[in-house]
Structure 1
Amino acid sequence: MTDERAAGSLRDRENELAEVQRIAKVGGVLVHLTNGFENKRSPEYLAIHGLPPEAVNETHQDWVRRLHPDDRERAERQFLDMLEGKAERYSSEYRIIRPNDGEVRWIAAEGRIERDRNGRPVRMVGAHIDVTDRAQAREMLRESEERFRLIADSAPVPMWVTRMDRTRSFANKAYVDFVGVPYEQALAFDWRTILHPDDAQRVVKESIAGEASLKPFVLEARYRRADGEIRWIRSESQPRWDPAGRHIGFIGVAHDITVAKQAEINLRSVNDDLELLVAQRTAQLRSRESQLRAILETTNQHQDLLDLEGQVVYANATALSAAAVGPEDVLGKRFWEAAWFDEAPAVAKAVEEAFRQASNGATSRMDLELSLPAGRRLFELALRPVTDETGEITAVLAEAVDTTERRTNEEALRQAQKMEAVGQLTGGVAHDFNNLLTIIRSATDFLRRRDLPEERRRRYVDAISDTADRASRLTGQLLAFARRQPLAPVAFDVGVQIDSVASLIRPLVGGRVQIEVNAPDKGMLAVADIGQFETTLVNLAVNARDAMNGEGRLVISAEPAVEIPAVRSHSARPGDYVAVSVADSGTGIPPEHIQTIFEPFFTTKEVGRGTGLGLSQAFGFAKQSGGDIVVTSIVGEGSVFTIYLPRSRSTAAADPAPAPHTDLTSGQGHRILVVEDNPDVGRFSTELLEDLGHWTEWVRSADQALAALSENEFAFDLVFSDVIMPGMNGVELGNVIRERYPGLPVVLTSGYSSVLAENAHRGFELIQKPYSVEALSRTLRKAIGDRSRR
């Protein structure tokens, strides 16, 4: 009985130890090293590494394959070097990819090496600890520190962090620039050495007292800048504390207040003059005295006091220096006729109107731009009434804030964000097109071989053709996002198209995804490009499938809407719309990604699972069609993408004409005028048309084309023109031909053109570059056939 109790007690302790290991994410490992690597893994080890119970005796290579590719060589080399050396302790940290869920985890491995009398390793006993949370926290701290440094370095004022020994652990760029020494020297720089001699004793004493108080304190003094100029600086410091509450130093920031100090001196001089003037004035001027004193007690921004006639009775030093004038140049003049507005008569008129409103009791605010001796400056101007004790308006205070630097910085930030977005887009385009060009270049090189078998030759030709199609689709998606793709909007029945697309996407999403369609059978018409509409629904359905990992519920709905809700800084837009939504039961979209999912090449999928252009195509299509796209998502529950398209007032959907069933690769001897400014493209186009059986004449500009037509308008059956050309473009040429020669068809071609996209509704036939022989022949036949029918 005693043995049973002892065994039971031992099992309890073992269970408790296992539970502790599970809670602490610690797994045991035992490796016998006398005959290769004979491993034994504890259940906790298997759980940490995402291994099944039967992996308890996994091989050394199993462990190596599980290591993250970026850590594999280092971790294995470290383990083997430890065995080959004399060390008795093994310690390492690396990442693994768990086979059960594909998740990346950080592992801290600790072990003890047992060696025989000859120093050869016999056995290793160790433990693996899952330290993923700690590693992620460490990375987040590093990123946070980097963000702090970037923010601090972008600040225009000196900032620093001081240790207890009064050296700095950090100083921003403005601080380093002010003291004028390299960063490392700036950390140990003694700020007392650049104090103005008249301020040094006072400021050092105030600094010591402020630090001893362990409370925030302020110092004002003059300092010698790196360029030798003396500047008034106001520094604000506050104590730093560690997590245990111990005082570890100070954080400080400084502001250049030289202008303010100089203004104080000037204001004192003005005050003396005003006191003498007020003493000689009547009782009415005594009232103004208090008003002028009030101005002296306000900030040192651009301030002017105006009487009820608009005449300037006071201007502070900042306002005078901005116009490079003295008080005698502006006092007594109407504010809007003074020197500040000499170069801006339109602004002066607006200021006069604002003064009228202020003199009637209303505060007026406006943004304005002035040309001053210092250059172009931007201001925020406010004019507000000044009242006496009885509430009667006695004057108008004009106060302006110079916002030039702030707006310049804001514009620089916007430009930086724009360039970052352009960089991301350019990188994505370069990556995808380089991949496509690699295929084309390689296939072309192989086609030059004379001994290439015919089957292999056909394969390379097909690869070039397929790759050209992929490149065309890629440019189409980019043009869709940029809202520069030519669209052919028609009124179509939304319910019918959704049913058609639902049938198309069923094999795409798989049998484990339940598709539900909630749309009216007929009668709800939208105006958009049908092909782009179908492509958008397919893209959204494929994204939904991936978000559900191939299993879940997909609902496509359509209903009328009276407005587009507020989204992406736009207010709600009332109107008559059709709202088509695609809802899934997938993983949802994290809030931090909602604002970026429509950017080109942004994707959260692994490599090979998408280009990141599907949602950008949907966004561009909706916006260019006169609508928008809205997304709502809850992480863990799913997402809903809703496309708003203009609703048609018509009661009948467009009926596309059937395509003629003819041989598409041979012509019928039609006479075609080719208009193309690029010599290479022009030669290729004419040769291609002649190979199709047509007769061609090639000109290089719209003017030459019109000249050829003026000689004999019946000499050609069709005009085939590029869109982008010097001088008159293809769309403009087509309009002239339509007006002068109504029966002559025009076919336009272009790879990209904002002019074409904006004028797609004008009814010209369009073939987009790059085009196939079949597409070219089909388009020409359709255009000439339409002419025959007319």
Structure 2
Amino acid sequence: MTTPDSSDVLPEAAAAERLRQHLEEIAHERDRAHRALQEREAELARIQRIARIGGLEIDFRDGVRNRRSPEYLLVHGLPPEEANETYENWVARIHPEDRERTVKHLFGVLKGGSEDYTAEYRIIRPNDGESRWIRVVAKIDRDRGGRALRLVGADLDVTDQMLAQETLRESEERFRLIADSAPVPIWVTKLDRTRSFANQAYLDFLGLPFEEAIVFDWRKALHPDDLPRMLQQQITGELSLKPFVLEARYRNAAGDWRWLRSESQPRWDPNGKHIGFIGVAHDVTAAKEAEIELRKLNESLERRISERTAQLESNEAQMRAIFETSHQYQGLLNQNGELLYANRTALAGIRADAADVIGKPFWDTPWFSATEGVAQVVRSAFATAMLGEDVKTEMLLRLPIGDRYFDFEMRPLHDQHGTIIGAVPEAVDITERRRGEEALRQSQKMEAVGQLTGGVAHDFNNLLTIIRSATDFLRRRELPDERRRRYIDAISETVERASKLTAQLLAFARRQPLKPEVFNVGAQVDSVAQLIRPLVGGRILIEVRIDDPDCYAIADIGQFETALINLAVNGRDAMNGEGQLTIGVRKVANIPALRAQSARSGDFVAISIRDTGAGISPENLDAIFEPFFTTKEVGKGTGLGLSQAFGFVKQSDGDIEVTSVLGRGASFTIYLPQAAPPADRKAGAIIGSEQASIGRGYRVLVVEDNDDVGRFSTELLEDLGYSVKRAADANAALAILSENEFSADLVFSDVIMPGMNGVELAGIIRDRFPGLPVVLTSGYSNVLAESAHSGFELIQKPYSVEALSRTLRKAIIEQRTTASKP
């Protein structure tokens, strides 16, 4: 066995020492590198926290595994244990309004072939409930087949940037609104001299749509004499990169030459780079013409400059000049509704100076003080505007310059922060337009009168032909008694038809004397339905639907029944005798807007009649209520049924609505004012018919100014057994009664007479001679239509002998019965 000598041991030990030292240096270098890496990581983490950037990794190779950096958790408001949060938790944290869009976008990118993924969405942070905007920038690792393996990226909190963008967008929108409301052209140009924006006044001046106006070459509208000067001044002004002013004549859309004074300011981007100009133009035609006139009158240059300088305004005055060019009435109100400014047009309307109205509450100014009720409307409009809403209405104002119609508008005024600081009232004078519309309505009314006159003449000539022919035959002595009776019956029936015709015309014109009564609508409809059944025939089913048995209305019952029958007969004809007629009754809280009239709120009863017929064509819907309008064959309708219903409901303070679909029937709905049930709900006594009564010597004072009618009435009453005395007018009748108030048992008076009319006479007799009954008669009277007959008996012309005798006897007996009661 041998042992190493010292010469062999020493080199190995030295090598081991060198190796140890080398390893120590490597370890120290590693430690230094590790510390440097930690420092860099700490610095990077600090930078990420400051910049609000968080890292994320999503691994798709085995399900979905998420890894979040501490900075990501900080940005998203998550605790440290959520470093591996689930996909579901991430989705739940997305703002509800952005959730569907964000998830759909992520899966769309994953399914595609792109290696880049970017997105912007809002989250709601769990730790403080704040809503924050997140921008994601990431790369996607894919396998050879394009399947997504892993997504690595960063989340950036861009809330401040997004809010800044929104603020910029709102600022730009406010600029557009303000610019479009200004009555002067405003524009924004780019370096190529095309415009990126032009307001409404700019478009109106050119008469071009927006797309054409922003590329329009203004040199084409310049006056030839101004073109060379303007080109030179424009180039000089633009090259100076300073504000500059130009004045020249331009041709507007109407072909007129107008002097415009344009002011241009250079535009700069955030980096200070020049990107174009913004400009505004004022119409200074009047000023330029005045300047030219002054130049002709004054040769002194200094004075000309002084006069022109005096016309130039300060910035505030220039803003006022924008309003002064408007033909609208315009003003400005503060938060209390006090007037801060009114333009020249508005002041001219009340013939006042600004000092007379500035500082006063707007609704207390002379624009509204002379018109009853309007001040409150304006005050309410101001209150609405201060809540952020626009108010538009039409109003008639009584101004010192005369009565004028206006389209009135009140808009809220906002400051740069969107706070409401006042209101802007504007009014457009539409008087001339209203007069034109009124002239058109008058023309249409005259056309309708012509149609009505023709219809009346046609129908009455038919009736008069029957009467004339029958009376001619009655003069023949050899006429057999049977034929004579037939002609007499024909005359009587024709008179009845003529009476109904005039009644229908008066109903349409709302000039018929009505007897309004409170009645149960359901019960009355049930009763009318029984009358209708034989009229419509057995092949038409009638269904009555009464929603509320205690529906009471106030109207003339006879006219109500006639209207229902007319509507039912129309429905029968529309169904050709086969179908279903549905009559309904219900209570409603309003009448809808009909025939250009606004809706009316209140308590009403709606009575509807619906048929299953052919319906009404749209072009006829507006004409069906006109008298003599009919789509039926000749001889099958007068065209007065619907006009009677229309006139009756309008005169009863109601309305009528029609709806129809061609081929699917029509529905008519009558609206009548609802009434409280009467204290005594029992049906009133029905006065049965009776034969003509004999006068038995009762004394009648006939008041009639027409000699022929007076003589005929006197003879007729004498033939009935009455003792008759006649007076030619109301004063003569009062003189007879004043001499002897017991000289008559009844006064029978016409309504229409010269001087005092019959209703006025009856009122005096009731006051002076309370025990003396009065019976009135008339074919038509606007007095009766407007005030009915004031409680007196009324017999309509033409009347039969039986009806006259019955009415007189009833009035005498009722008066005697009343007088005999204790």
Distance 1:457 1:346, change over 3 A: same
Distance 1:274 1:447, change over 3 A: farther
3-state DSSP of counterpart to 1:642: strand
1:741 aligns with 2:772: no
Distance 1:273 1:422, change over 3 A: farther
- Equivalent positions of 1:420-435 (< 5 A) are 420-435=447-462
Distance 1:367 1:484, change over 3 A: closer
Deviation, structure 1 residue 222: 10
Question: 2:807 matched to which residue of 1?
Answer: 779
3-state DSSP of counterpart to 1:631: strand
Q: Is the 2:404–2:429 Cα contact (8 Å) retained in structure 1?
A: yes
Question: 2:136 matched to which residue of 1?
Answer: none
Q: Is the 1:536–1:617 Cα contact (8 Å) retained in structure 2?
A: yes
Matches of 1:784 and 1:611 in 2, distance apart? 39
Deviation, structure 1 residue 718: 0.6
The superposition leaves residues 136-173 of structure 1 with CA deviations (integer Å, 9 ceiling, x where unpaired) of: xxxxxxxxxxxxxxxxxxxxxxxxxxxxxxxxxxxxxx
Matches of 2:538 and 2:747 in 1, distance apart? 50
The superposition leaves residues 742-784 of structure 1 with CA deviations (integer Å, 9 ceiling, x where unpaired) of: 2211111111123213333732111001111111111111111
- Equivalent positions of 1:535-554 (< 5 A) are 535-554=562-581
Q: Is the 2:323–2:343 Cα contact (8 Å) retained in structure 1?
A: no
1:557 aligns with 2:584: yes
* AA matched with 2:509: A
TM-score normalized by structure 2?
Answer: 0.55
Deviation, structure 1 residue 457: 3.1
3-state DSSP of counterpart to 1:697: strand
3-state DSSP of counterpart to 1:762: coil
Question: 1:658 matched to which residue of 2?
Answer: 687
Deviation, structure 1 residue 416: 1.4
Question: 1:490 matched to which residue of 2?
Answer: 517
Deviation, structure 1 residue 716: 0.9
Deviation, structure 1 residue 450: 4.3
Deviation, structure 1 residue 482: 1.9
Q: Is the 1:580–1:644 Cα contact (8 Å) retained in structure 2?
A: yes
Question: 2:473 matched to which residue of 1?
Answer: 446
Matches of 2:697 and 2:579 in 1, distance apart? 57
1:290 aligns with 2:323: no
3-state DSSP of counterpart to 1:755: helix
1:680 aligned residue (693, 698, 708):
708
* AA matched with 1:291: M
Deviation, structure 1 residue 590: 2.1
Deviation, structure 1 residue 544: 1.0
* AA matched with 1:461: I
Q: Is the 1:675–1:702 Cα contact (8 Å) retained in structure 2?
A: yes
* AA matched with 1:540: L
3-state DSSP of counterpart to 1:583: strand
2:699 aligned residue (650, 667, 671):
671
TM-score normalized by structure 1?
Answer: 0.57
Note the residue ranges of structure 1 that are not aligned, 5 or more in a row.
Answer: 1-197, 203-217, 224-230, 234-259, 280-284, 338-342
Matches of 1:771 and 1:643 in 2, distance apart? 31
Deviation, structure 1 residue 687: 1.4
Matches of 1:382 and 1:738 in 2, distance apart? 55
Question: 1:712 matched to which residue of 2?
Answer: 740
Distance 1:715 1:314, change over 3 A: closer
1:637 aligns with 2:664: yes
Matches of 1:395 and 1:679 in 2, distance apart? 74
Matches of 2:400 and 2:289 in 1, distance apart? 24
Q: Is the 1:359–1:395 Cα contact (8 Å) retained in structure 2?
A: no
Matches of 1:524 and 1:728 in 2, distance apart? 42
Indicate the larger mover: 769-778 or 616-625.
616-625
Deviation, structure 1 residue 470: 0.6
The superposition leaves residues 238-262 of structure 1 with CA deviations (integer Å, 9 ceiling, x where unpaired) of: xxxxxxxxxxxxxxxxxxxxxx996
Matches of 1:737 and 1:488 in 2, distance apart? 22
Indicate the larger mover: 269-278 or 546-555.
269-278
Deviation, structure 1 residue 313: 9.9
3-state DSSP of counterpart to 1:623: helix
Deviation, structure 1 residue 529: 2.6
Question: 2:780 matched to which residue of 1?
Answer: 752
1:767 aligns with 2:795: yes
3-state DSSP of counterpart to 1:687: helix
Q: Is the 1:436–1:467 Cα contact (8 Å) retained in structure 2?
A: yes
* AA matched with 1:276: T
3-state DSSP of counterpart to 2:632: coil
Matches of 2:375 and 2:684 in 1, distance apart? 62
1:413 aligns with 2:440: yes
Matches of 1:770 and 1:569 in 2, distance apart? 38
- Equivalent positions of 1:562-601 (< 5 A) are 562-601=589-628
Deviation, structure 1 residue 413: 1.3
Q: CA RMSD in A?
A: 4.9
Distance 1:603 1:199, change over 3 A: farther
- Equivalent positions of 1:234-253 (< 5 A) are none
Q: Is the 1:673–1:716 Cα contact (8 Å) retained in structure 2?
A: yes
Matches of 1:521 and 1:310 in 2, distance apart? 53
The superposition leaves residues 451-496 of structure 1 with CA deviations (integer Å, 9 ceiling, x where unpaired) of: 4444333333222221111110001111112222222233334444
Matches of 1:640 and 1:575 in 2, distance apart? 22
Distance 1:483 1:361, change over 3 A: closer
Distance 1:452 1:410, change over 3 A: same
Distance 1:706 1:402, change over 3 A: same
Matches of 1:787 and 1:290 in 2, distance apart? 84
Distance 1:455 1:361, change over 3 A: closer
Deviation, structure 1 residue 430: 1.7
Q: Is the 2:528–2:564 Cα contact (8 Å) retained in structure 1?
A: yes
Note the residue ranges of structure 2 that are not aligned, 5 or more in a row.
Answer: 1-222, 228-249, 259-282, 295-303, 361-365
Matches of 2:599 and 2:438 in 1, distance apart? 27
Matches of 1:395 and 1:521 in 2, distance apart? 51
Matches of 1:522 and 1:220 in 2, distance apart? 70
Matches of 2:731 and 2:817 in 1, distance apart? 29
Distance 1:348 1:607, change over 3 A: closer
Distance 1:232 1:669, change over 3 A: farther
Question: 1:622 matched to which residue of 2?
Answer: 649
1:698 aligned residue (726, 743, 754):
726
* AA matched with 1:659: G
Report the identity percentage: 57
Matches of 1:489 and 1:657 in 2, distance apart? 17
Matches of 1:595 and 1:606 in 2, distance apart? 20
Name which one, 1 or 2, has greater alpha-carbon Rg.
Answer: 2
Q: Is the 1:491–1:653 Cα contact (8 Å) retained in structure 2?
A: no
Distance 1:262 1:769, change over 3 A: farther
Matches of 2:328 and 2:477 in 1, distance apart? 82
Deviation, structure 1 residue 725: 1.9
3-state DSSP of counterpart to 2:694: coil
Q: Is the 1:292–1:305 Cα contact (8 Å) retained in structure 2?
A: no
Distance 1:409 1:465, change over 3 A: same
